[in-house]
Structure 1
Amino acid sequence: MSNEIEIGRGKRGRRAYSLDDVAIVPSRRTRDPQDVSINWQIDAYQFEMPVMGAPMDSVMSPATAIAMGRLGGLGVLNLEGLWTRYEDPQPLLDEIAVLSEDNFNPAATRRLQEIYEAPIQAELITSRLAEVRDAGVTVAGSLTPQRTQEFYKTVLAAGVDIFVIRGTTVSAEHVSKTVEPLNLKQFIYELDVPVIVGGAAGYTPALHLMRTGAAGVLVGFGGGATTTTRRALGIHAPMATAIADIAEARRDYMDESGGRYVHVIADGGMGTSGDIVKAIAMGADAVMLGSALARAEEAPGQGWHWGQEAHHSELPRGDRVRLDTVGPLQEVLWGPSHHTNGTSNLMGALRRAMATTGYSDVKAFQRIEVLVAPYLSAM
């Protein structure tokens, strides 16, 4: 039976759902939250929570990446951000924090573009990653596909443990008549470290990314708190459907490859603990958090949150978003919480949701029953 809806006589489309449109259902069993494990392992690296800090300048600095690692997660440093363009980016962060609060202010956008015009310095990539490594935590850095060929040797020489290739959308078959595209399959095959790549928003592109040898695929397109891609380009993939589609691609790829497991990592549109819970329920192994961590007192954005799309030199398609600071990173991730809106003790909420619905670990929780409840998005 087709699940396509007729939009008009000449076009049909699938109905897709956001995380707000779905709800999880308790089972016949409940558990003690202390008996629930939310540990996550990808390749040889083990973590106490299934959380990656998004490589965004408002979220991750070397110091916050270290703090994330010490709290049991994985902080990913943006290797095209302010920390690799400036020896001391703090004055620039202070300036960004006092730019106009109007999201559509051309002068503020122009200044942001000017700040990010400074060239990336390979020696700063090396020193920033070394700072994280010296702290004794897992080292992860992120480049866009456009910059990967230029800087990946520097990144590997610096001793990165996990390499992230992250863009608005990343495909295994980029076509260009003017430049030699990055051959992901060959590139990943030649590396000695696990690679996480994305974003992907559907079954087919995700399956092709899995075939490149990636250890994980980032799921998401146009769903983050800062992005205006939906308004600027008309492209958007509701997260609940995107995660479920790519989780199915993971299952089919396991059959195709003889059992090779590729991690599905939800990236974008998860501002509260309930969103994280539902992302994993839809099939994600882990989540990459931006705005949820930008609310921490240690976040370099100082209460502001922005992504790389906000300072694109030709077509900026992201806002600087003002967020409320809710407490230290420890409190945001592990509590104790003093907020009732799901913005702190994110991991305590995940553990309690799993306990309330009777599941003991993340892999089991992915099988939970869910309901389509679109009325929730209006509440």
Structure 2
Amino acid sequence: MYRNFKIVPQIVFGRGCFNQLGDILKPRRTTPDAYMVFVLDDVFKGRPLEGRLPMEKGDMLLPVNVDDEPKTGYIDQLVAQVQAYCPRKPAGVIGIGGGATMDIAKAVSLMLNNPGSAADYQGWDLIKNPAVYHAAVPTLAGTGAEISRTTVLTGPVKKLGINSDFTLFDQIVLDPELLAGVPKDQWFYTGMDCYIHDVESLNGTYLNEFSRAYGEKSLELCRQVFLEDRADKDDKLMMASYFGGMSIAYSQVGACHALSYGLSFVLGVHHGIGCCIAFDYLEEVYPEGVKEFRRMMEKHDIRLPRNLTAKLDEAAMDTMANVALGLVPLWENCFGKDWQRVVTKEWVLELYRRM
């Protein structure tokens, strides 16, 4: 059976389109007491972007901290804050920030309509009830979180997303102006998440012409952004992120993302930099991609952290490997249905030891 997957139904793109957010949300304010929850990366607290939010009387501002990767327990706390703010459910949840902030907004909107803890829904298609209306405004580009059916969370025993058609945003607002001022390293690591999406999708066993069309265009845009000098690089990167996310919607990521999940779970390494660290050791799996990635690092003077795992004990290393190996669809996309003949625990541990 072919997957009958959903995509984000409403999208606005263009410089300055963030100014339309209030008008976009207005039809959702169907009663006088309808309110919105604005999930805002707390890096913007007290900064101009906060003042531009189209908040109306009764709306809730929910600043979130993404110094660490989003955890299921943190989601449960945020949901409790919204429920304490008002017994009525909000008319919408709006995520403004990078991939982690958008994932938090997705998870909060889901958990407002589904009982229990966010940890109960880590996996594929476990969500039973549609989310509260939710929209995204990316201020970073590359993760594809704006178009993804996944909200990536670290739980008590694993790092695994809530993967569901209900996770997808109802609306995304893609304004390249919001990428201005992003620190270079953060811009690079987040953008490389997109580049690695493309490499993994285009070299995967799940690949079909739908995924290839989006992946190839995304890869072309990434090369223009990271290997050329383009005045419109933010516009191109924002679209590369969208196309990269669409490519893996009918495909999957691969070995690099599986390894990065292990790094994140044990060491708390952020997703973008974790992907870069892992990808740099996968030349035997993605030789051309890694070679080009290193050219991009050289052009932008990026130096990756080294010796991250040097002081880890065997128990921590074992946990890291088990988290990575638990992501079966990623390994299957990379190596095929007999992936376990190639991907042994010792091979994974050896890669981690080199990191």
The structure whose residues are more often helix, as a share, is 2
More contact order relative to length (CA 8 Å, sep ≥ 6): 1
TM-score above 0.5, yes or no: no
The structure whose residues are more often strand, as a share, is 1
State TM-score, norm by structure 2: 0.27
State TM-score, norm by structure 1: 0.26
